[in-house]
Amino acid sequence: MPLPQDWRIPPEFQPDPDALDFDLDRALAAVVSLRAAIPEDAFTAETLGTEREGQGAVIREDGLVLTIGYLMAEAEEVWLTTGDGRAVQAEPLAYDFVSGFGLVRALTPLGAPALPLGNSRRIEPGDPVVVGGAGGAAHSLAAEIVATQEFAGYWEYLIEDAIFTAPAHPNWGGTALLGAGGELLGIGSLQLPSRTSDGRVLPLNMSVPIDLLKPILDDLLRFGRVDRPSRPWLGLYAMEDEHDRVAVVGLAGNGPARKAELRTGDLLRAVGGVPVRSLAGFYRTLWSLGGAGVDVPLTVEREGDVFDVVLGSADRSRFLKSARLH
């Protein structure tokens, strides 16, 4: 749900410019708001909506903006708004399914500074950070690193060293995670619940680490995708249940899982004969079978019955309206 236009981070949670070793106003001027319009018949429209709002970080003086890919996937129109209120149209360039990053480029000069790319592998729990939102300090948050660890998402997504921060920013999508020198350490992706030692549930933000961008940036700019074979995609949503079993919780469009008549509630017992013991393990075994199009043998449990089924995997990008976004 979009936040009201006059929302503000409470002053006591905003970053204090006097406590920082960088020019906070300049760094936050590199964070722009992003609004994307998606066709109603787009593959992602049902799950992500047709009007998406978030932010992105300017990473090159030519108006190249890094964001989280779900904001701009299949966009037919993208607008960026700078800190001084200027709206600039942009073009979508790439959405990398593996990292989750998206790139757009302003079609006219933004007049905004570019953030330097930091080293996300050097951060440690307890490090202070700024979760930078579009609109300056009032929309930004003083936070700290809680953990860096593996993250498996229900949408066939897995990354190493995901960055978790607290407290949580209420408008996290595409926020710029800024380090001690004002460098870009990551891009905000999710808000997740976390249980404390005393049983309380507190929200955290998960950011995609910037080091995942560095080896793929040139490919994304040149080809609109990373120059590597696409991973096999099944078109299912899966989560670990309370018994640490991997269960199907949804099906994506008319993807391979739906065509094979998998159902919500099915338990994934094995893939390629390898027992499934975790969501991350399921993904790793699936992707080890070969590239997109490879047949994927699954052992499935449904209401106590166990059976085998073979799914013909697909290239996820082929389901999107723009073939450039891989």
* Element (DSSP H or E) covering residue 246: strand 246-251
In three-state secondary structure terms, 43 is: coil
- Give the DSSP letter of residue 273: T
Strand ranges inside the chain, DSSP E: 31-37, 51-58, 64-68, 77-81, 87-95, 101-106, 128-132, 141-153, 157-166, 176-178, 184-195, 201-209, 236-240, 246-251, 267-271, 274-275, 295-302, 305-312
Burial label, 188 (beta-carbon count in 10 A; 0-12, 13-18, 19+): buried
For residue 199, the model assigns a pLDDT of: 80
Burial label, 229 (beta-carbon count in 10 A; 0-12, 13-18, 19+): exposed
Q: What is the pLDDT along the chain (326 residues), one digit of tens a residue?
A: 456 567 899 999 999 999 999 999 999 999 999 999 999 999 999 999 999 999 999 999 999 999 999 999 999 999 999 999 999 999 999 999 999 999 999 999 999 999 999 999 999 999 999 999 999 999 999 999 999 999 999 999 999 999 999 999 999 999 999 999 999 999 999 999 988 778 888 899 999 999 999 999 999 999 999 999 999 999 999 999 988 899 999 999 999 999 999 999 999 999 999 999 999 999 999 999 999 999 999 999 999 999 999 999 999 999 998 644 44
For residue 209, the model assigns a pLDDT of: 98
Beta-bridge mates of residue 148? 163
Name residue, tokens 């989750």. Answer: 100
Report cis status (omega within 30 of 0) of the bond before 297: no
Considering only the C-alpha atoms of the chain, give the largest distance between any 2 of them, rounded to a whole number of Å.
63
Query: Model pTM?
Result: 0.95
For residue 196, the model assigns a pLDDT of: 75
